[in-house]
A and B are shown apart, each in its own frame.
Chain A
Amino acid sequence: MWSSNLLLQVIVIPIIVSIIILLTRGRLGKAGAYIACASLTYTSLILVSLYIQLWSSLTSIYEEYSWSQFLRLKLGLLADGLSLPIALIMNLLCTVCAFYSIPYITHRIEILYGGENDKLLNLYFAIYLFFAVGLTGVALSTDLITMYLFLELVLIPSYFMIDLYGYHDRHRIAMMYFIWNHLGAGLFLAGIVLAYFSNGGSFNIFDLAKVQGGSAFWVCFFILLGWLIKMAIFGFHVWLPHAHGEHPTSIAAIIATIVGLGNYAIVRLLVNNMFNAFQLFGLPLMIWSLVTMVYGAFLTLAQDDIKRLYACSTISQNAYSILGIASCTTLGVVGGIFYFISHMIGKCILFSVAGIVVYLSEVRDMRKISGLAKLAPSTAILAILGSMILSAIPPLSGFQAEWAMFIGIFEKSVEIGYLVAFTGIFATFLTLVYTFWPIKRVFFGQPSFESNSVKKEPPMMVIPLFILSAISILFGVYPDFILRLLTYSSI
């Protein structure tokens, strides 16, 4: 009985645990945090086992539960080659960040509210569990309405997180973040409703293919625009440096994942089902993402605050995946999704490193820190590993993803000219500059701190990140772990 409901367990168990934590109102103390981490570990293990099963048998896993007989609503959960890697990585990231949060949030609560506060700690973990549910749900859902539901399920807790535990000016920034993302989600909803009326009254994702003609263009347009706003493409990117710079770093990876989730959504909804309409958007989207890439890279170079730096870099890195997907070639799409997965891992590591630096030294301005490598060697190694993932240096996964994606982009160039492709690949050089230069500034050089004024790195923050880098090395050394699943499920 248990084994047939695995996907449902992945979604429901964190909700149950979260409600339990909320109901006990902080009486669990620190144990509440560990219970939350344990439940997330359990869901990750379920997904890992499903992944291995899918990889060896290559048949998708589909579970369907009826929600309401009256309204004929069904909850369908599909784990196929496209959605399972993403669901797995997101769950793993949530688990890793949950362990990372325990020392971090304790410290943050001490600073913000003065003294230990178990109720706030438990509240954090109760809210946190909804992230896992929402992100995995978006990846696994087969129905447009459930996808929207899970998306909002991720958005609302993140508003509370920023508001309660963020850095300076957090109230205003939480509201700004919420409004921007809600605007994107609203446009997505407009596209959903339009699709409902155009394809004869069904919200199922696979029925999107039935939308014809002129309305296909508008459906595509609204869905695309909604998700692009959430992905902080150039022009709509102004919320991201603030929101990602001022949130508590332990959820940094989650919020970065929300930004990148659009890649999955675009592939699942538009590339797989509405390919003809999407191709019309191909070239403008490629150029737009190129502008984002270059502008994001220069903006990142201009930062001096260590958290805003990695926030701005998310803008640029996301644009790589969009460039790959917009090329509308098999390898471009597959490489784009692989790059997105690899980027999520790398960004989680880098944001967490920034969080550790802030935790250890209480300073965010990079002009004031230097020479940290002697005092925090594991952090320095993690920073270099994370930068290697982003800059596509082997043997980490970024390299394999990047060349696969660029093959797709170059193939498209045969039609549209090579300018886009060359600009794109030379923009990847800027990534190297803006990741390794801060490493030099922060970690190398003469120390600006006395060795006893800096705390020790807590192992619970560092070890999960090393596990993540090991996963990235695994994908880098044997990329077929992901490529096989992605190519089997793509067009």
Chain B
Amino acid sequence: MNITDFAPWICWISPLIGALLTLLSRDNTVKGVAASSSVLVSWISALLMVPMVSTNQALNVKSGWIYLPEGEPTSLGMLVDSLSIIMVNIVSFVSFLILVYSTWYMRREDGQTRFWALMSLFTSSMLLLVLADNFILFFIGWKMVGLCSFALIGHYYRDEERYWIGGPPPSPFQKPSTCALKALLVTSFGDVAMLSGIILIFVYSKTFNFVTLLNSSPEWMLKMAQSPGLILASIILLLLGVAGKSAQFPLHIWLPEAMAGPAPVSALIHAATMVKAGVYIVARLFPLYYNTYWIVGIQEARFFFQIVAFLGVATAFLTATEAVTALEIKKILAYSTMSQIGYMMMGLGAAGLSQEATIAGYSGSMLHLLSHALFKAALFMSAGAVIHLTGSIYIHEKSLDKRRTRLIWFFTWVSVLSLIGVPPFSGFWSKDEVLAACLESGQILLFSLGLLTAFVTCLYSIRMMYHVFRVDAKVHDGGGHTHSEEEPVMVAPIGVLSGLSLIIGILGYWFKNLFKEIFHGFLSMSLRLETYPRGEWVESTLIPLSSISVIAIASVASYFYYVKYRADYVNLIVRNPILEKLHKVFWNRWYIDKFYESVFVRSILSVRSGIQGKLETSMDVLLNIGVPGIFSRMSQILRSMQTGLLSVNMLYVLIFLAVMMIFLLVG
């Protein structure tokens, strides 16, 4: 009974206790401290689990929870292996820093109880999701993070005008409550699909437990393979859920609107943790489908990797282009998040498509997950500072004075360089690993689109930095602060994260190999594939050279364009009809959002009155007024037979007599 037996439980239950403490106390600072310290406890217990990474085992602590009439009882258990340990550390560490930052950001807002309780509840659910050892517990965490996300995006539920996002006019604005509802609905659609995929798998495998699923996969996968298309259906359903939660194409439309929430919410949920949940479950299910395809030999399982890679690359490219024209700082970062998660998916997909690329792709994705969490959380936090200090959500209206915000400027540049993938920052190593895996598995299309996306990434990042930290006349005057606006509580978390980006980058080569070793062990334990064929491209210098050259070209281009020509894009675009069309497509988010809105939202709104008015009312009138109407008509007819006139009654007697006569004579 050592501490590592309790560590997973402490990890996810501690923020739950923090949420309860938040509800009980009255003072705002106490609430903030309670929430942050509970997450700190989580992080410490996550650190305690780190030594287990080297043992390459999966520890599954179970206890009976739900007993179904058939199949294995679903247990309340934790699965502790390299994947979950690394994720738990990332999640708790970044959450802790963001909560510290929130004590500065939210200090004058109301609704703090809601905020702190929900942030703690969110962290708890995310940790539960990562540590769960069976699909049901995982899905509980999954849905709860969706619920907390809904509640936190709609934090400013009173829809005051200053919290509206969208615009600038003539583009429409969106209110926070609408954005929250949209996020909930889109992610829940994915969730419903995922639940049906999970249930479908249970019907064949009779278990929810990840370890048992993997170990018994040859039997139940073969059973499933007997109905053609069933494995493909389950893959598509599960991946729809992943697409919904991780904001990948085709369910990526909710993330830009989710920026209606306060900046810490965007940092925690929509950059560092919740959207990574999809990547986590793909990584968790990776050995299962890898086993099925490469070792058992069922062809349908290959679709898993193909669809994942396709989702990844499509999202990466589409959303990067959308970021080039966006005008709100948080929306640029949201598009960037979706794009980078696309990279992670690409890596995982490519890892499964060829045996040489497996380790590189898998560890590259995970490394990119780590570096993305670091630099994106830092970027969102500084975006929050920018919005707070300038009072505007747009990048083109106001900008920060570099002289007064030196530290923010420096840290933001570190994170942006990591995002672009400039050596020696951590983003460079992870992005290159992913690209190497793509090339290794022979997917030239993935590789080239990945490079193209890197180009576009550089463009929009430099554009954003230029606008935010412009030195010319539009110096901000937001709030009338004249002293240095940086407070330690705000800057320290950003600094820590950017510093880590830098440190991991400098140690990049060794860190990358460390990750490779960890995941080599992890995959060999779960896949039982001892030796992997060596890849030729993985170690070569082609990849770093190509990515650096792409970045160099892009940065030169954007420097000339944005800095020299002061981004006078209006003139440039008006003169060139092709660029104008491109701008329109990118500004309208490739019309995907509009498509969904017209097909689903507008159609239901227009059909509504028809259903109630015509369909239901007609059935209602038919049965509630029509049927009694028939009866009253019949009773009126019968009533008219009773005239009360003697002659008529006598006539009835005569008729009766005649009928009886006929019966008697005939019968």
* Interface residue ranges, A against B (CB under 8 Å): 176, 235-236, 238-239, 241-242, 298-299, 301-303, 330-331, 334, 371, 373-374, 388, 391, 393-395, 399-400, 402-404, 406-407, 410-411, 414, 418, 421-422, 425-426, 428-429, 432-433, 436-437, 440, 443-447, 478-480, 483-484, 487
**Nearest Cβ in chain A — how far from B142, in angstroms?**
9
Extra contacts, 6 of them, besides A238-B620, A437-B181, A446-B159 (Cβ < 8 A), are A298-B607, A399-B140, A403-B139, A403-B195, A406-B195, A483-B66
Within 8 A of A (CB), among B201-243: 202-203, 233
Beyond A301-B604, A302-B608, whether A407 also contacts B159 by CB under 8 A is: no
The answer to whether B611 touches A394, judged by C-beta atoms less than 8 angstroms apart, is: no
What is the CA–CA distance of A429 and B190 in the complex, to the nearest angstrom?
A: 9
What is the CA–CA distance of A241 and B188 in the complex, to the nearest angstrom?
A: 27
Q: In the complex, what residue of chain B is closest to A484 when comparing beta carbons?
A: B67
The answer to whether A410 touches B200, judged by C-beta atoms less than 8 angstroms apart, is: yes
The answer to whether A403 touches B612, judged by C-beta atoms less than 8 angstroms apart, is: no
> Does any Cβ of A come within 8 Å of B285's Cβ?
no
**Nearest Cβ in chain A — how far from B141, in angstroms?**
8
Beyond A298-B611, A483-B67, whether A395 also contacts B203 by CB under 8 A is: no
**Nearest Cβ in chain A — how far from B8, in angstroms?**
18
Q: List 7 A-B contacts (CB under 8 A).
A: A298-B611, A403-B198, A406-B199, A407-B203, A440-B177, A444-B158, A444-B180
Q: In the complex, what residue of chain B is closest to A373 when comparing beta carbons?
A: B157
**Other-chain contact of B68, A176, A404, A414 (Cβ < 8 Å):** A404
Please, which residues of chain B bring their CB within 8 A of the CB of A433? Answer: 185
**Nearest Cβ in chain B — how far from A295, in angstroms?**
8
What is the CA–CA distance of A393 and B147 in the complex, to the nearest angstrom?
A: 8
> Does any Cβ of A come within 8 Å of B13's Cβ?
no
What are the interface flags for B141-179 relative to A under an 8 Å C-beta threshold, 1 for contact and 0 otherwise?
A: 001101100100010011110000000000000010110
The answer to whether B196 touches A421, judged by C-beta atoms less than 8 angstroms apart, is: yes
The 7 closest A-B pairs by CB, nearest first: A444-B177, A302-B612, A302-B608, A394-B140, A444-B157, A302-B611, A425-B196
Please, which residues of chain A bring their CB within 8 A of the CB of B198? Answer: 403
The answer to whether A436 touches B181, judged by C-beta atoms less than 8 angstroms apart, is: yes
**Nearest Cβ in chain A — how far from B599, in angstroms?**
14
Q: In the complex, what residue of chain B is closest to A303 when comparing beta carbons?
A: B612
> Does any Cβ of A come within 8 Å of B616's Cβ?
yes
**Nearest Cβ in chain A — how far from B220, in angstroms?**
13
> Does any Cβ of A come within 8 Å of B184's Cβ?
yes
> Does any Cβ of A come within 8 Å of B65's Cβ?
yes
The answer to whether A407 touches B612, judged by C-beta atoms less than 8 angstroms apart, is: no
The answer to whether B192 touches A238, judged by C-beta atoms less than 8 angstroms apart, is: no
**Other-chain contact of A444, B139, B154, B604 (Cβ < 8 Å):** B154
The answer to whether B607 touches A410, judged by C-beta atoms less than 8 angstroms apart, is: no
* Interface residue ranges, B against A (CB under 8 Å): 65-70, 136, 139-140, 143-144, 146-147, 150, 154, 157-160, 175, 177-178, 180-181, 184-185, 188-189, 192-193, 195-196, 198-200, 202-203, 233, 604, 607-612, 616, 619-620, 622-624
The answer to whether B188 touches A432, judged by C-beta atoms less than 8 angstroms apart, is: yes
**Nearest Cβ in chain B — how far from A419, in angstroms?**
12
Beyond A407-B199, A429-B189, A480-B67, whether A445 also contacts B136 by CB under 8 A is: no
Beyond A299-B611, A436-B181, whether A395 also contacts B604 by CB under 8 A is: no
Beyond A241-B616, A242-B624, A432-B188, whether A445 also contacts B147 by CB under 8 A is: no
Mostly helix, strand, loop or mixed at chain B's interface?
helix
**Nearest Cβ in chain B — how far from A202, in angstroms?**
31
What is the CA–CA distance of A407 and B196 in the complex, to the nearest angstrom?
A: 9
Please, which residues of chain B bring their CB within 8 A of the CB of A374? Answer: 158
What is the CA–CA distance of A443 and B181 in the complex, to the nearest angstrom?
A: 13
**Other-chain contact of A440, B158, B178, B619 (Cβ < 8 Å):** B178
The answer to whether B185 touches A432, judged by C-beta atoms less than 8 angstroms apart, is: yes
What is the CA–CA distance of A371 and B198 in the complex, to the nearest angstrom?
A: 38
Please, which residues of chain A bring their CB within 8 A of the CB of B139? Answer: 394, 403
Beyond A395-B140, A480-B65, whether A239 also contacts B192 by CB under 8 A is: no
The answer to whether A446 touches B158, judged by C-beta atoms less than 8 angstroms apart, is: yes
**Nearest Cβ in chain B — how far from A240, in angstroms?**
10
**Nearest Cβ in chain B — how far from A480, in angstroms?**
6
What is the CA–CA distance of A85 and B203 in the complex, to the nearest angstrom?
A: 27
Please, which residues of chain B bring their CB within 8 A of the CB of A440? Answer: 177-178, 180-181
The answer to whether B203 touches A414, judged by C-beta atoms less than 8 angstroms apart, is: yes
**Nearest Cβ in chain B — how far from A408, in angstroms?**
10
Please, which residues of chain A bring their CB within 8 A of the CB of B68? Answer: 331, 404, 407, 483, 487
Please, which residues of chain B bring their CB within 8 A of the CB of A444? Answer: 154, 157-159, 177, 180
What is the CA–CA distance of A374 and B114 in the complex, to the nearest angstrom?
A: 13
Please, which residues of chain A bring their CB within 8 A of the CB of B157? Answer: 373, 443-445
Beyond A242-B624, A330-B69, whether A436 also contacts B159 by CB under 8 A is: no
What is the CA–CA distance of A418 and B154 in the complex, to the nearest angstrom?
A: 37
**Nearest Cβ in chain B — how far from A369, in angstroms?**
14
Q: In the complex, what residue of chain A is closest to B176 when comparing beta carbons?
A: A444
**Nearest Cβ in chain B — how far from A272, in angstroms?**
15
**Nearest Cβ in chain A — how far from B425, in angstroms?**
39
The answer to whether B185 touches A445, judged by C-beta atoms less than 8 angstroms apart, is: no
The answer to whether A395 touches B144, judged by C-beta atoms less than 8 angstroms apart, is: yes
What is the CA–CA distance of A299 and B604 in the complex, to the nearest angstrom?
A: 11
**Nearest Cβ in chain A — how far from B433, in angstroms?**
36
The answer to whether B69 touches A331, judged by C-beta atoms less than 8 angstroms apart, is: yes
**Nearest Cβ in chain B — how far from A381, in angstroms?**
10
What is the CA–CA distance of A109 and B622 in the complex, to the nearest angstrom?
A: 34
What is the CA–CA distance of A407 and B624 in the complex, to the nearest angstrom?
A: 38
**Nearest Cβ in chain A — how far from B251, in angstroms?**
12
Please, which residues of chain B bring their CB within 8 A of the CB of A426? Answer: 192-193, 196
What is the CA–CA distance of A422 and B146 in the complex, to the nearest angstrom?
A: 22
**Nearest Cβ in chain B — how far from A288, in angstroms?**
15
What is the CA–CA distance of A433 and B608 in the complex, to the nearest angstrom?
A: 13
Please, which residues of chain A bring their CB within 8 A of the CB of B158? Answer: 371, 373-374, 444-447
What is the CA–CA distance of A436 and B151 in the complex, to the nearest angstrom?
A: 12
Please, which residues of chain A bring their CB within 8 A of the CB of B233? Answer: 418
Please, which residues of chain B bring their CB within 8 A of the CB of A443? Answer: 157
The answer to whether B619 touches A302, judged by C-beta atoms less than 8 angstroms apart, is: no
**Nearest Cβ in chain B — how far from A220, in angstroms?**
24
Please, which residues of chain A bring their CB within 8 A of the CB of B624? Answer: 176, 238-239, 242
**Nearest Cβ in chain B — how far from A327, in angstroms?**
12
What is the CA–CA distance of A411 and B623 in the complex, to the nearest angstrom?
A: 37
* Most chain B Cβ neighbours within 10 Å, of A302, A303, A395, A428: A302
**Other-chain contact of A445, B140, B159, B189 (Cβ < 8 Å):** B159
What is the CA–CA distance of A411 and B154 in the complex, to the nearest angstrom?
A: 39
The answer to whether B192 touches A425, judged by C-beta atoms less than 8 angstroms apart, is: yes
